[in-house]
Amino acid sequence: MRTQVGIIGAGPAGLLLSHLLHLNGIESVVIEERSQDYVRQRVRAGVLENTTTDLLREVGLGERMDREGLVHGGISLRFDGADHRIAFEELVGRSVTVYGQQEVVKDLIAARTRDDGQILFEVSGTAVHDIDTDRPRITFTDSSGQPQEIVCDVIAGCDGFHGVSRSSVPHEAYDHAYPFAWLGILAKAAPTRDELAYTYHERGFALYSMRSPEITRLYLQVAPDEDLAEWPDDRVWAELHTRMALDGESPVLEGPVLDKGITAMRSFVATPMRHGRLFLAGDAAHIVPPTGAKGMNLAIADVRLLSLALTELLRRNDSRLVESYSDTALQRVWRAEAFSWTMTSMLHIMPGADAFQRQVQLAQLRYTAASAAARTTIAENYVGLPW
């Protein structure tokens, strides 16, 4: 096969990059190891920054999001037996939208299918070659077991943290593993709150969120090596009620558990995000703990920038934006890493933390709740910094 841009990975980053390139008259082929059903159904991030929703509308992907997404004008920090609201709209004049990653992926697949975009699912043995030349190649085995090769002008590695792309790029890695994880459930239960609540509790952090008017998404801080089998539904619900209750009343409405899993917490950045004609985007280049709701939004910011750079290169033979892509993208990445670190450190019980450390956390939370300046800092980072 011959195309202009070979894209590895059919998550939000790879699919959106393909869509943006199509709008600019540039051909691409997307390959993905998982099945289409898996990609469409996997439960991941759910909060879209204001900048992300603006972009999706701008490129014709906002109709269902605007119809079904839940617009939130703030979040709550729950500690000291009370809710402390951070009002985004009042502080920075913007909001976020709760719309699951799988829904964004469904919209993107529909758009690429409508526009005759080529997405090859269930491939295996993916490898990249000749990335130091102007004709890099991707080899793989297709779903029928036939060996294939894509010759392209550029390769975009959008294949996530465990993909093959990053290992093909000489890079320096900055990695931090947190001493806890999140146990998350998706429940068929109507939300009882209008906004997310981040709870600091002596037994560990808890998060109340939602995906739709019928579905809640709930998280508990657990040990990093926690055995999911030790958490039957009854135990999960009991712990959620304990950590989130105010004045003895819990906001959690129980219902059938549709999905349950444990998510490791880590911060990771690979630099640079480009080598020759291979460019990294999204989780292939960086990971943030989910506390700051930055993962998918960072991936979308990466491919917005990369699409502009590749358009200049392939349509006008202008390499200035591709030369600066890594440095420019990493400025936003490190700002998001810092914000996610701050939220994570402030809200979680650190294993082995003494009474002094816990009082320092509470002092930071109390200052944040009382200070308009501190609340504004959280608000402007949470809703998304300008491009």
Q: What percent of the chain has pLDDT over 90?
A: 96
Average pLDDT, the chain: 96
Report residue 44's pLDDT band, with 50, 70 and 90 as the boundaries. confident
What is the secondary structure of 18-55 as a DSSP string?
A: HHHHHHTT--EEEE-SS-HHHHHH-----EE-HHHHHH
Instruction: Assign 3-class secondary structure to 107-127.
Output: HHHHHHHHCCCEEECCCEEEE
Q: Is 198 a catalytic residue?
A: yes
Tens-place pLDDT, residues 371-381: 999 999 999 99
Judged against a pLDDT cut of 80, whether residue 123 lies above it is answered with yes
Judged against a pLDDT cut of 80, whether residue 43 lies above it is answered with no
Tens-place pLDDT, residues 175-211: 999 999 999 999 999 999 999 999 999 999 999 999 8
What pLDDT does 42 receive?
79
Q: Where in the chain does DSSP place strands (E)?
A: 5-8, 28-31, 47-48, 70-72, 74-79, 82-87, 96-98, 118-120, 124-129, 137-141, 147-151, 154-157, 172-188, 197-199, 206-212, 215-222, 257-271, 274-275, 278-280, 286-287
Judged against a pLDDT cut of 90, whether residue 169 lies above it is answered with no
**Close Cβ partners of 352 (under 8 Å, ≥ 6 residues apart):** none
CB 108 within 8 A of CB 61: yes
Judged against a pLDDT cut of 80, whether residue 21 lies above it is answered with yes
99, 178, 198, 208: the active-site residue: 198
Q: Is 174 a catalytic residue?
A: no
Cα distances (Å, whole numbers) of residue 6 to 21, 30, 159, 162: 11, 6, 12, 18
Rounded CA-CA distance 339/326 in Å is 20
Q: State the virtual CA torsion across 223, 227, 229, 231 in degrees, nearest 10.
A: -10
19, 171, 286, 294: the active-site residue: 294
Rounded CA-CA distance 157/334 in Å is 20
Q: Is 290 a catalytic residue?
A: yes
22, 201, 290, 348: the active-site residue: 290
Spell out the long-range contacts of 332-338 with Cβ–Cβ below 8 A and sequence spacing 24 or more.
332/298, 332/301, 332/385, 333/269, 333/285, 333/286, 333/298, 334/269, 335/381, 335/385, 336/288, 336/292, 336/294, 336/297, 336/298, 336/381, 337/267, 337/269, 337/286, 337/288
What pLDDT does 137 receive?
98
Cα distances (Å, whole numbers) of residue 355 to 166, 242, 315, 362: 41, 21, 60, 11
pTM: 0.95
Residues 215-240: what's their mean pLDDT?
97
Find residue 271's DSSP bridge partners.
Answer: 172
Judged against a pLDDT cut of 80, whether residue 45 lies above it is answered with no
12, 19, 22, 72: the active-site residue: 72
